[in-house]
Copies of this chain bind each other. A is one copy, B any other.
C-alpha cells in the first residue's frame, strides 16, 4: 500500500484536504505514526490524539478541523474504515483453491468454485453450493447442506442433517448439531432423550471460534439471517434466534429460548430455558435473565431486571449509612 491522500479519499468516499503525502499503512488513534492513516470515529476525542503533519486523519463531515494537518472528510468514518480495509486488505485470511486430493469426499454434490481443504471429511448426501470454502480438518456429517459463498475455518465439526445457507462464516472449533442436553430422571439415574432434530443457520450469519450450537430434540434449532455470534457462546437445543441479533462472547442461551430480531446480548450473559426475549432488547454483560424480556427493554443484573431498576436497587443500599445516622439522631433526641 503506497497511496496519496487523494487516491484514498476516492476509495473511502470522501474529500481530501491536505498536502501531497504518500501513506504506507493504517494505525490506531493511540499509535499515530508518520505516513499512516488514522480513522477518527468520535471527533470529540481528536484533541487527545497525537497530531503529525505527515499523517492523514479521516474525520466526519462537519468536524471543526484545523488546517495544519491532512484530512479526509467523509460522511461516515466507520463505513469509510470498512471500505478502506476491504480495498487494501482484500483477503486477510488466505486459503488454497480447489478440491484437495487429501480431502475424503463421499457421495456429495459440489457446486462451482467450491474449495475443500486437506483432511476434510464429507459424508454421503452432503450438498455444497458454489463459492463455498472449507478449510482443512473439518468434519461434515451425513446429509448436511451448505449454501453459496460460505467459509468454514479449520477444525469445525458439523453433525448430520445441519443446514447452513449462504454467505455464512464459521470460525475454527465451532460445533454445530451436537446433542441437546436432555435427560429424564429414572430412579435417580439419567436416561438420555434422543436428540433427533437439527440445526438451521440462515444467510449472513457469523459464528465465532469454539461456539457450540446443539441440535434440537425434535424440530430445529434456528439462527436467522444476519445474526452475529462471538466466540465460546452456548446455544442450547430448540433455541430460535431472530434476524440481525448480536450475541457476544461466552453468553449462554438455554434450551427452547426464543430471541427476537436486533437483540443484543452482551458478554457472559445467560438466559434461562424457555424464556422469550422480544425484538430490540439489550441484555447487558453478565446478566442472569430469569424471566421474559419485552421489546426494547434494557436488562441488567443478577437476577436481571430492567437496567434502571437494578441501578435504583443498588442505589438504595448506599443510603443505609445515612439511615442509621438519622435513627441515631432520633434515638438520642427522644
The complex places the Cα of A319 from the Cα of B316 at a distance, in Å, of 9
Smallest distance from the beta carbon of A269 to chain B beta carbons, Å? Answer: 9
A178 contact set on B, CB distance < 8 A = 153, 171-172, 208-209, 231
B186-A157 in contact (CB<8A): no
B154-A191 in contact (CB<8A): no
A154 contact set on B, CB distance < 8 A = 121, 139, 157
Q: A137-B119, A250-B234, A250-B250 are in contact. Are A218 and B323 (CB under 8 A)?
A: no
Contact with B along A147-184 (1 / 0, CB 8 A): 00000011111011000000001011101001101011
B219-A27 in contact (CB<8A): yes
A324 contact set on B, CB distance < 8 A = 319, 323
A28-B139 in contact (CB<8A): no
Q: Which of B92, B232, B317, B333 contacts A194 (CB 8 A)?
A: B92
B82-A194 in contact (CB<8A): yes
The A interface, classified by DSSP as helix, strand, loop or mixed, is loop
A188 CB–B CB distance under 8 Å: yes
Smallest distance from the beta carbon of A91 to chain B beta carbons, Å? Answer: 9
Contact with B along A114-144 (1 / 0, CB 8 A): 0001110101000000000001110101100
A173 contact set on B, CB distance < 8 A = 155, 157, 173, 175, 210, 212
Within 8 A of B (CB), among A237-251: 238, 244, 246, 248-250
A94 contact set on B, CB distance < 8 A = 123, 141-142, 160
A226 CB–B CB distance under 8 Å: yes
A228 CB–B CB distance under 8 Å: yes
B92-A195 in contact (CB<8A): yes
Smallest distance from the beta carbon of A103 to chain B beta carbons, Å? Answer: 10
B267-A194 in contact (CB<8A): no
A155-B139 in contact (CB<8A): yes
A117 contact set on B, CB distance < 8 A = 121
Q: A155-B137, A212-B231, A252-B267 are in contact. Are A169 and B175 (CB under 8 A)?
A: no
Interchain residue pairs with CB less than 8 A apart (25): A27-B218, A78-B184, A79-B191, A82-B193, A85-B217, A94-B123, A96-B123, A117-B121, A118-B121, A121-B154, A135-B139, A153-B157, A155-B157, A169-B179, A175-B231, A181-B249, A189-B244, A212-B231, A212-B232, A231-B236, A234-B249, A270-B285, A313-B318, A316-B321, A334-B334
Residues of A in contact with B (beta carbons under 8 Å apart)? 26-28, 31, 78-79, 81-82, 85-86, 89, 92-94, 96, 102, 104, 117-119, 121, 123, 135-137, 139, 141-142, 153-157, 159-160, 169, 171-173, 175, 178-179, 181, 183-184, 186, 188-196, 204, 206, 208-210, 212, 214-215, 217-219, 226, 228, 230-232, 234, 236, 238, 244, 246, 248-250, 252, 254, 262, 267-268, 270, 272, 285-286, 288, 290, 302-303, 313-314, 316-321, 323-324, 326-327, 330-331, 333-334
Q: A171-B179, A231-B234, A320-B323 are in contact. List 10 more A-B contacts (CB 8 A).
A: A27-B219, A85-B217, A93-B159, A119-B121, A135-B139, A188-B244, A210-B212, A212-B249, A285-B290, A333-B334
